[in-house]
């Protein structure tokens, strides 16, 4: 089947920054991949008189007196995004490239907690006494503004949002910016938070797994999800393959997972939030499958976290066992951690309408 | 590179336009309103507020476009319908169509009654959440018109509409789709009204962009949509258009969350990029539809940069005097107005301008002005330090 739209992508991942419930930095993420599933924290949601598990980013993880020194008033979403973007740049070993570097942030819900904080000021103090600082920080693109200022990036900057495939869409746009020559490198990533109201909404709409465990391979009926939050950024460029984690070979939408040759490992975005029948139908019995949502939780931008795992696996030539191995449908799970020869991986996502997005990650070649 | 030497394969045509704002529903009505110099502002009527300031509300959205409790989507549908009609596009199911739309309000779950209910009782109606989840504007429009190409909502504050058009421009140049529905939409909402008021930049009377005595902006609402299409696609379906998108430039200030960089370097860089992509020189620009909000800082920075780059005789206007600042819709509306100006050969007077600001080396047009030339610019500056510019051409 001819894809409805696709990108013949040739960009390299030069650096990764990540902040998630397990901590900050690609090394911490690698530790989490090796360690396997850990029970997430539980948090009181007083207004609904419930205690819920959430893969939340701890305030201590955001403690940084260097990168965040000029943004004390920024909210959690912005701080997560700035730290992840800064770490991706540092991880790449390159310097900020001023106006030749761009930023694209994709988010499903944006700074919703700050928006609710702003509504608090309207309700509590009246329309004429609201906080301009909170309002400014509630705007979706505040996080990117902080990133640009913190890293002195003056190229194109963009914040985008959608609920299906937010990361894949942004990743594809980064590729176009490189192809168009709008910049030489792009910090492209995701950020989403799970504040109090979102925890309530998540629990009401989807329920929350009481034991805090995401079971990505239950597929249908899906096992209850557990909300997550965090940020991942990738520094991508068409150049410098010698420093790369991997090359992004293709980003394709609505063409099913089988449009290209078989991969060594398939990563799936299954996280309990949508029925997974489409995954079950699409997976090949000969290709090992992994899903890392049990490490970072269920969130619409989770594909970026899976891609970070994929890029790391290709760079290290190591595969990491899926953190939760419950496998009622007996699919071919990646269930051991160890050295491997990995040339091609696919990151596969389906939405609730069984539309697909596939990112192909391939070992870089000089 | 696309530009004035474009080929059929790489050219990006504007084959349709659709607008709705306080100035009118539809381009024809809007241009008549511009000619008459009408400024259809008044007190807020859409919601209860203690804030007293003029706003530019859309008087009536045709009933066939009403989406219950989603005014932004209703406005967008109205403009999309006009744009598709003017592009002679009907059934899109067999075409590769992308949707790229900017917004601010529609991207936020900011329903005050929902939140009040949650605060008071620990419960709140999930219909509000369902509506929000179904209301991502690009996804909603794509579903509604059966567009099956890329769909992405741009939330770059006040430059969202311009950046959305720029993004669609990249999609088309790189073959991700053949046709793109691109622009912006936003409704008047209490939340930004309170927010902008708290920043002290809302004018208590009608705005006067670039005027010496300007005292801030008026909020507005609306939607502006362009149908962009590759030359090859237009040719295939027998559609021609003299209008083009020729260049897009965007740059960050990396300076401040709400204030523009005083030296305007970010805006200048975005203009340079847009002109370079279009392959034209500053002196070839025949007019600029400026961001021109009517705030002290924006107009000073923008006016200085435009004067520096294009000289004191540049024909410049801000249509926000007719529409108010429509936030995420502004870039879409203003690009559509710029295209109409090129096509019609005239631009309206810049409403509200009376006295020249000696610090701004430009004088906006004071009367309806004939345009001779093939290239024009539309600019946007935004919260967060985003600067974006589009070069439009009439070839």
CB pairs under 8 A between A and B: 209
Q: In angstroms, what separates the C-alpha of B388 from chain A's closest C-alpha?
A: 9
Comparing CB atoms, the residue among A99, A127, A253 nearest residue B50 is A127
What is the chain B residue with the closest CA to A141? B156
Residues from chain B that touch A110, judged by Cβ atoms under 8 A, are 107-108, 155
Query: CB of A294 within 8 A of CB of A213?
Result: yes
- Encode pLDDT of A76-97 as tens digits: 999 999 999 999 999 999 988 8
Q: Does A220 touch chain B (CB under 8 A)?
A: no
Continuous segment of H or E residues that includes residue B233: helix B231-236
As a residue count, chain B comes to 395
pLDDT value at position B344? Answer: 97
- The predicted model gives A205-209 an average pLDDT of 96
Q: In angstroms, what separates the C-alpha of A241 from chain B's closest C-alpha?
A: 23
Query: CB of B35 within 8 A of CB of B47?
Result: no
User: Mapping DSSP to helix (H, G, I), strand (E, B) and coil, where does residue B230 land?
Assistant: strand
CB contact under 8 A, A112 and B255: no
The ipTM is 0.97
pLDDT value at A259 more than 60: no
Q: How would residue A275 be classed by pLDDT, with cut points 50, 70 and 90?
A: very high
Q: CA–CA separation, A247 vs A331, rounded Å? A: 27
Q: Does A254 touch chain B (CB under 8 A)?
A: yes
pLDDT value at position A6? Answer: 45
Residues from chain A that touch B50, judged by Cβ atoms under 8 A, are 126-128
pLDDT value at position A97? Answer: 86
CB contact under 8 A, A253 and B150: yes
CB contact under 8 A, B116 and A123: yes
Share of chain B above pLDDT 70, in %: 97
CB contact under 8 A, A162 and B108: no
Closest CA to A155 of B270, B327, B42, B123: B270
pLDDT value at position A365? Answer: 77
Q: In angstroms, what separates the C-alpha of B134 from chain A's closest C-alpha?
A: 9
Closest CA to B47 of B191, B216, B206: B191
Q: Does A262 touch chain B (CB under 8 A)?
A: no
Q: Does A110 touch chain B (CB under 8 A)?
A: yes
Closest CA to B255 of B150, B382, B107: B382
pLDDT value at B9 more than 70: no
pLDDT value at A4 more than 70: no
- Encode pLDDT of B92-130 as tens digits: 999 999 999 999 999 999 999 999 999 999 999 999 999
- Encode pLDDT of B278-299 as tens digits: 999 999 999 999 999 999 999 9
- The predicted model gives A263-276 an average pLDDT of 96
- The predicted model gives B59-77 an average pLDDT of 96
Comparing CB atoms, the residue among B107, B155, B198 nearest residue A130 is B198
Q: Does A155 touch chain B (CB under 8 A)?
A: yes
Q: In angstroms, what separates the C-alpha of A139 from chain B's closest C-alpha?
A: 7
């Amino acid at each position: 089947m001819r894809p409805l739209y696709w990108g013949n992508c040739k960009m390299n991942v030069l650096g990764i920054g990540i902040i998630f419930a397990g901590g900050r930095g690609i090394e911490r993420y690698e530790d989490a991949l090796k360690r396997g599933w850990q029970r997430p924290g539980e948090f009181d949601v007083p207004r609904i008189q419930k205690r819920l598990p959430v893969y939340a980013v701890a305030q201590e993880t955001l403690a940084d007196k260097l990168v965040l020194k000029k943004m004390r008033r920024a909210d959690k979403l912005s701080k997560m995004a700035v730290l992840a973007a800064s770490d991706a740049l540092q991880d790449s070993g390159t310097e900020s490239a001023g106006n030749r570097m761009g930023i694209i942030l994709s988010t499903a819900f944006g700074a919703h907690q700050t928006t609710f904080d702003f509504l608090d000021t309207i309700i509590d103090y009246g329309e004429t006494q609201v906080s301009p600082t909170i309002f400014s920080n509630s705007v979706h693109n505040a996080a990117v503004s902080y990133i640009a200022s913190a890293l002195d990036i003056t190229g194109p900057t963009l914040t985008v949002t959608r609920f299906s495939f937010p990361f894949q869409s942004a990743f594809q746009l980064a590729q176009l910016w490189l192809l168009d020559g709008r910049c030489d490198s792009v910090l492209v990533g995701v950020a989403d938070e799970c504040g109090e109201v979102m925890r309530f909404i998540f629990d009401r709409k989807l329920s929350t797994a009481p034991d805090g465990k995401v079971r990505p391979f239950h597929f249908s009926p899906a096992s209850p999800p557990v909300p997550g939050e965090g940020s991942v950024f990738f520094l991508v460029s068409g150049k410098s393959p010698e420093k790369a984690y991997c090359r992004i070979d293709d980003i394709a939408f609505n063409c099913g997972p089988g449009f290209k040759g078989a991969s060594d490992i398939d990563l799936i975005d299954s996280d309990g939030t949508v029925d997974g029948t489409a995954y079950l139908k699409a997976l090949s019995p000969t290709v090992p499958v992994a899903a890392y949502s049990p490490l970072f939780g269920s969130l619409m931008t989770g594909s970026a976290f899976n891609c970070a795992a994929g890029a790391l696996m290709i760079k290290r030539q190591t595969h990491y066992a899926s953190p939760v191995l419950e496998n009622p449908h007996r699919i071919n799970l990646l269930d051991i951690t160890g050295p491997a020869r990995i040339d091609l991986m696919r990151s596969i996502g389906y939405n609730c309408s069984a539309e697909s997005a596939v990112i192909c990650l391939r070992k870089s070649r000089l | 590179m696309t530009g004035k030497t474009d080929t059929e394969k790489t050219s990006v045509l504007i084959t349709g336009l659709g607008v709705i704002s306080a100035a009118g529903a539809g381009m024809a009505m809007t241009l008549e309103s511009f000619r008459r110099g009408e400024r259809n502002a008044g007190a807020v009527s859409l919601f209860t507020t203690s804030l007293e300031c003029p706003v530019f509300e859309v008087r009536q959205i045709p009933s066939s476009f009403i989406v219950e409790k989603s005014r932004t989507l209703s406005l967008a549908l109205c403009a999309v319908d006009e744009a598709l009609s003017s592009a002679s596009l009907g059934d899109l199911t067999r075409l590769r169509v992308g949707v790229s739309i900017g917004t601010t309000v529609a991207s936020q779950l900011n329903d005050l009654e929902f939140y009040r209910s949650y605060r008071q009782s620990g419960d709140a109606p999930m219909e509000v959440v369902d509506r929000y989840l179904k209301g991502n504007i690009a996804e909603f429009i794509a579903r509604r018109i059966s567009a099956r190409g890329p769909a992405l909502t741009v939330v770059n504050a006040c430059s969202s509409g311009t950046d959305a058009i720029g993004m669609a421009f990249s999609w088309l140049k790189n073959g991700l789709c053949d046709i793109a529905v691109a622009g912006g939409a936003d409704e008047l909402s209490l939340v930004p009204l309170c927010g902008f008021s708290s920043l002290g930049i809302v004018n208590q009377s009608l705005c006067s962009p670039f005027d010496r005595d300007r005292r801030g902006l008026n909020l507005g609402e609306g939607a502006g949509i362009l149908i962009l299409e590759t030359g090859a696609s237009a040719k295939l379906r027998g559609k021609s258009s003299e209008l083009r998108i020729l260049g897009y430039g965007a740059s960050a200030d990396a300076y401040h969350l709400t204030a523009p960089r005083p030296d305007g370097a970010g805006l200048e860089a975005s203009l340079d990029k847009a002109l370079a992509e279009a392959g034209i020189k500053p002196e070839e620009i025949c007019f600029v539809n400026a961001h021109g909000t009517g705030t002290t800082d924006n107009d000073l920075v923008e006016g200085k940069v435009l004067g520096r780059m294009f000289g004191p005789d540049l024909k410049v206007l801000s249509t926000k005097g007719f529409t108010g600042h429509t936030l995420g819709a502004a870039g879409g509306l203003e690009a559509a107005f710029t295209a109409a100006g090129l096509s019609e050969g005239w631009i309206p007077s810049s409403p509200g301008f009376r006295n020249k600001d000696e610090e701004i080396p430009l004088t906006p047009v004071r009367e309806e002005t004939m345009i001779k030339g093939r290239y024009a610019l539309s600019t946007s500056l935004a919260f967060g330090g985003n600067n974006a510019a589009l070069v439009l051409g009439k070839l």
